[in-house]
A and B are shown apart, each in its own frame.
Chain A
Amino acid sequence: NAGVMQNPRHLVRRRGQEARLRCSPMKGHSHVYWYRQLPEEGLKFMVYLQKENIIDESGMPKERFSAEFPKEGPSILRIQQVVRGDSAAYFCASSPLTDRAKGYTFGSGTRLTVV
């Protein structure tokens, strides 16, 4: 089991471009969480998804950010028209259906740099 796979590890985008971050959960995990870590800060929850459903997006900025977890394929966090303030590490975690908080497995993260 390869664990939670995130790609790319590093992503550089110019202001105004789009960023797409991918997360493949662990085998058997049906829940995906996205967190953002700004420089010098802790991880902040963004969104929680199950297959084809957004369950909680209370941490997502209202504009430019969207997330999906399709029936097939990885979960995608999409940031449109990136700005310098979007530069951060974005972490994905997955968990099984039961005892979700215990079963959290994190990916290695994607470090987004906006230039």
Chain B
Amino acid sequence: SQQGEEDPQALSIQEGENATMNCSYKTSINNLQWYRQNSGRGLVHLILIRSNEREKHSGRLRVTLDTSKKSSSLLITASRAADTASYFCATVGNQFYFGTGTSLTVIP
């Protein structure tokens, strides 16, 4: 499959803890993007990291990219109950390929 694959499939943490999700892929990419989806809604773009970047921050989000290992990670620090959602990586070459997502539950 050309899709990114997220790991773990599901993650449950306490409010205030950090959440880490991983994405692995197989083909070369132009960039990699992370999206969030609240239950029953559309996806919302969180952050984009280009293939020549190694790390990027946005608020409580930190994304890393290792093109030699074809992997990326999304770290959400100091999680909140409102962070409960599914998170998808999208590997972007000539086309977009979305992974199957990580379901994050943050327990208040």
Q: Do A and B interact?
A: no
